[in-house]
Amino acid sequence: MTDKDFYLTKERVQKEQVRILEMCEQALKASRADETEIVVFAQDEALSRFANSEIHQNNFERNAQVSVRAAIGKQVATASSNLLTPEGLQQAADDAYEMASMREPDKDWAGLPEGPFEYPLKVDFYENTAVLTPEARAKPLLEVFKLGGGTYSAAGFLSNSALTVIVTNSHDVRAACNATSAKFTVLYTGEDSSGYWEEFTRNFGEIDIPAAAKRALEKAEASANPRKDLPAGAYVTILDEDCLADMMMFLSWLGFSAKMVHDQESFLVGKMGERITGDNVTLVDDAGDARTMGLPFDFEGVPKQKLVLIENGVAKGYAHSWKTAKKEGVASTGHYLGMEEPLPVNMVLVGGDKSKDELIASTEQGVLVSRFHYTNVVNPMETVITGMTRDGTFLIENGKIVSGLTNFRFTQNILKALADNDGLTREQRFSSAFFGGGAVVPAVKVRSFNFSGKTGF
């Protein structure tokens, strides 16, 4: 068997999509439920993981996840499987039907989405990414290992995946797309410092691995021999993109959901139409921005809509599923994720008019934080989070970075930090968040960021 026979080429993935759609049609016709929905998430994922500047794991997984939601009147249940065959789909549909027949009615059930829909957003499938072999991944990684020399060891991974997502239901929803992705992460660690960088894209050919590795190494080298004498406290702070991506994803989880608003569990309760951040802050959810790696539709087949969450500092919107939208008498924004809370996951924080060098040059004394680590929620209604700085924390004096710093614990209100900002960079990039997801964000300068504790490293 050749690589072309094994991997999902563009031709093979298109044929597979047709095959899955035909199976879904058969299962929908045979379903005994009043309403039936079938979601298929089929993926090839390969990864080369490295540590101590050596590849120690090559992994490949081919898997499919099938979810069938059945409704009998307002009795609703979901069954799942990873058996992507006609028999497997039929069994999952039968299981969902049997479970629904035993469920209490859902008084808020609004039915499944009613199609057909148009899907103007298209995503790309790059064959060079789908067919990437372990040997092809290893070649650039060897250069990453050499770059660190004997002083800095490299850890991280290089992955590639090919994905097919299909959503069909008994109300003429027929949504399908194929997409690829590639991700590279590297952490260089020395005796007393570290530096991190990542790249995430649909097309492996767009990742400049040597340049990304160089950025991480420069962080590690610049933060070596860190000063330990700066105490905890509130400082003017420049937060790199990785930090801001974490903060944006926490805002998503803590409140930009219609269900959370309905349940009075969102920080947006009582604040819609009011100013909640600085007036230079505009946050949108836009799967149409290719940098967000979004899909054309949500997991109930509704087309994704561009959603304004914050506009010029004012709270403007939150994400809807079909069910929450019907409850409010509005249209779904296409943000159903297979759970009760619809959430924005393709967020873009609009950039400002500064460069990062300008933010640094305008700082008499402050701290620059490259990355957060192990961030958690302290007070969800107040958007207070806590975590640690990692992989490049620096002291700024008289408009210049003068040394590395040992790390801090921070405890900070996200909205207050955005309200107290002193500028955003023009440059933006996609960055992953600590507990998953990510956002396209600039860097930000905050006039007073609260470091609540100090570490010795």
- What pLDDT, in 10s, does the model give residues 286-302? 999 999 999 999 999 99
Q: How far is CA 124 from CA 65, 130, 180, 206, in A?
A: 21, 11, 7, 13
Inside any domain, residue 220: no
Inside any domain, residue 406: yes
Show which of 186, 211, 236 is a domain's final residue.
Answer: 211
Q: Is the pLDDT of residue 1 over 60?
A: no
What's the pLDDT score for residue 314? 98
Inside any domain, residue 378: yes
Q: Are residues 243 and 385 in the same domain?
A: yes
pTM, to two decimals: 0.95
| CA–CA separation, 83 and 92 (whole Å) | 9
Q: Is the pLDDT of residue 327 over 60?
A: yes
| CA–CA separation, 13 and 327 (whole Å) | 38
User: Do residues 395 and 191 lie in contact, with contact meaning Cβ atoms separated by under 8 Å?
Assistant: no
Q: Are residues 294 and 336 in the same domain?
A: yes
Q: Is the pLDDT of residue 421 over 70?
A: yes
What's the pLDDT score for residue 435? 65
What's the pLDDT score for residue 434? 65
Inside any domain, residue 171: yes
Geometric angle at alpha carbon 84, from 78 and 89, rounded to 5°: 45
* pLDDT range class, residue 438, cuts 50, 70, 90: confident
* pLDDT range class, residue 432, cuts 50, 70, 90: confident
End-to-end CA distance of the chain: 51
Which amino acid does the sequence have at 183?
K
Q: Are residues 315 and 180 in the same domain?
A: no
Q: Choose between 101 and 6: higher pLDDT.
A: 101
Inside any domain, residue 411: yes
Phi and psi for 38 in degrees, rounded to 5?
A: -125, 125
| pLDDT tens-digit series, residues 23-39 | 999 999 999 999 999 99
Inside any domain, residue 221: no
Q: Are residues 295 and 414 in the same domain?
A: yes
Give the pLDDT mean for 348-376.
Answer: 97
Residue range(s) defining the domain that contains residue 45: 3-211
- Counted domains in the chain: 2
Give the pLDDT mean for 111-128.
Answer: 96
Q: Are residues 270 and 172 in the same domain?
A: no
User: Do residues 53 and 154 lie in contact, with contact meaning Cβ atoms separated by under 8 Å?
Assistant: yes
What's the pLDDT score for residue 4? 59
| pLDDT tens-digit series, residues 146-188 | 999 999 999 999 999 999 999 999 999 999 999 999 999 999 9
Q: Are residues 200 and 267 in the same domain?
A: no
Q: Is the pLDDT of residue 2 over 80?
A: no
Show which of 145, 177, 211 is a domain's final residue.
Answer: 211
Q: Are residues 237 and 321 in the same domain?
A: yes
Q: Are residues 331 and 204 in the same domain?
A: no
Q: Is the pLDDT of residue 134 over 50?
A: yes
What does the mean pLDDT of the chain come to? Answer: 96
Could you give the percent of the chain with pLDDT greater than 90?
95
